[in-house]
Amino acid sequence: MAINSVITGTGSYIPTVVKKNSDFLTSQFLNEDGTSFVYENEIIIEKFKSITGIEERRYASPELNSSDLAFFAAEKAIADAKIDQEDLDYIILAHNFGDVKSASNQSDILPSLASRVKHRLGIKNPNCVAYDILFGCPGWIQGMIQAEAYIKSGMAKKCLVVGTETLSRVLDDHDRDSMIYSDGAGACVVEAIESDAEIGILSYAAQTYTFEECFYLFFGKSFDKSKDEHTRYIKMYGRKIYEFGLSYVPTAMKEALDKAGVDILDVKKILIHQANEKMDEAIIKRFYRLYKTEIPEAVMPMSIHTLGNSSVATVITLYDLIKHGNLKPHSLHKGDVILMASVGAGMNINAMVYKY
């Protein structure tokens, strides 16, 4: 029998603080040069909603950091998998900014967030190796790819893969792009399962583009020129990222699916990074166009409307919500083929084919 990398438990943590679009009506949005927009906030917000699909997003409460959110999600995943946490061989934690305390934007990654989560879980086993990965928004999928490598090589039998972020702590309030970002965490337990049938991770593809694309997402100054010029905030070239995603994500998805030997018509769900509704819809259209076939109904669940873009947490949170019946009418059934994909800072892209 073959060894397969199978998700046996999942968990997510959705923060309790709801930030609605209407909460930005009093914001002072500025251009990059510090000048004011010619449009009123009502128009800016309405246009933002029509492009991104975001109506509200979630922020972590002030007393919680990224590692706290990760711990909550990890605890749920371990309980869902019904395993002894001491049997975990690896804890792989994806994030981008570490623990950033409320009212501060200084990153704290010493010790690593994975080590903090292992400590909070109370795991005593020193052979449970905990480490962080920085791979932009595709970080959780990349963690899954690493877990698959450990399992297939015989180096691991059980891995915990976590994605967590508190982007609300690194926002420039004067940048309208700040409305995209949110906080959250998701986690899963991946186990080595012997089976004659193909289940779990079937294939994957990953790329890093840096020749011209490296700084499409970056840390930059506030648009408010009166603020400390040494303080940095998350910034992006939205149009470049949009065009980049449309150019390269569909081909990465096709590469992964073709590697798996799965027919496009057998794909039941596509869980794509919740970055921007219009971009995700355009990516899916281009992907199906590569196979010269129509897009099936309800193939692409979305959570961005109410949860925003929580970076590394979006794909696993989406999976967890569907798995536990919390994103109706979507559901998963034994044998379903799921295609997961993401794009983000680096610039990185990855895709993974999973059989439920």
In whole angstroms, what is the distance from residue 120 CA to residue 88 CA?
A: 14
Please count the other Cβ atoms lying within 10 Å of the Cβ belonging to residue 240: 15
Q: Is the model's pLDDT at 105 over the cut of 80? A: no
For the chain, what is the domain count?
2
Residue 161 confidence (pLDDT) above 80 = yes
Of 151, 176, 195, which one is at a domain's C-terminal end? Answer: 195
In the predicted structure, residue 67 carries a pLDDT above the cut 90:
yes
Q: Report the pLDDT value the prediction gives residue 345, as an integer from 0 to 100.
A: 96
Domain that holds residue 309: 200-355
Average pLDDT of the segment spanning 186-198 = 95
Residue 32: Cβ within 10 Å count: 11
Q: What percent of the chain has pLDDT over 70?
A: 100
Computed over every residue of the chain, the mean pLDDT equals: 96
151, pLDDT greater than 80: yes
Q: Looking at 162, 195, 228, which one is the last position of a domain?
A: 195
Are both 169 and 20 inside the same structural domain? Answer: yes
Do 243 and 107 lie in one domain? The reply is no
- Whether residues 32 and 57 fall in one domain: yes
* Domain end residue (candidates: 195, 229, 263): 195
C-alpha to C-alpha distance for 309 and 343, rounded to whole angstroms: 12
Same domain flag for 40 and 151: yes
Identify the pLDDT of residue 1: 82
Do residue 160 and residue 233 come from a single domain? no
3-state secondary structure the chain: CEEEEEEEEEEEECCCEEEEHHHHCCCCCECCCCCECCCCHHHHHHHHHHHHCCCEEEECCCCCCHHHHHHHHHHHHHHHHCCCHHHCCEEEEECCCCEECCCCCCEECCCCHHHHHHHHHCCCCCCCEEEEECCCCCHHHHHHHHHHHHHHCCCCCEEEEEEEEEHHHHCCCCCHHHHCECEEEEEEEEEEEEECCCCEEEEEEEEECCCCCCCCEEEECCCCCCCCCCCCEEEECHHHHHHHHHHHHHHHHHHHHHHHCCCHHHEEEEEECCCCHHHHHHHHHHHHHHCCCCCCCCCCCCCHHHHCECHHHHHHHHHHHHHCCCCCCCCCCCCCEEEEEEEECCCEEEEEEEEC
The token duo for 118 is 């292992």
Q: Give per-residue pLDDT as tens, 68-80.
A: 999 999 999 999 9
Per-residue pLDDT tens for 206-233?
999 999 999 999 999 999 988 888 889 9
Amino acid at 267: V
Based on the fold, state whether residues 235 and 156 are members of the same structural domain.
no
Checking if the pLDDT of 337 tops 90, the result is yes
Same domain, 213 and 154: no
Residue 14 and residue 148 in one domain: yes
Residues 166 and 235 in one domain: no
Same domain? 318 vs 223:
yes
Question: What does the pLDDT average to over 176-199?
Answer: 95
The CATH code of the domain that includes 89 is: 3.40.47.10
In this prediction, residues 184-195 reach a mean pLDDT of: 97
107/104 Cα distance (integer angstroms): 9
CB 335 within 8 A of CB 343: no
Same domain, residue pair 38 and 126: yes
How many C-beta atoms lie closer than 10 Å to residue 33's C-beta?
7
Q: How far is residue 145's CA from residue 131's CA, in Å, rounded to a whole number? A: 15
What's the confidence (pLDDT) of residue 106? 85
Residue range 105-109: average pLDDT?
88
The model's confidence at residue 352, banded by pLDDT at 50, 70 and 90, is very high
What would the pLDDT profile of 20-66 be if each residue is shown by its tens digit?
999 999 999 999 998 988 889 999 999 999 999 999 999 999 999 99
pLDDT of residue 311 exceeding 90, the answer is yes
Tell me: do 159 and 67 sit in the same domain.
Answer: yes
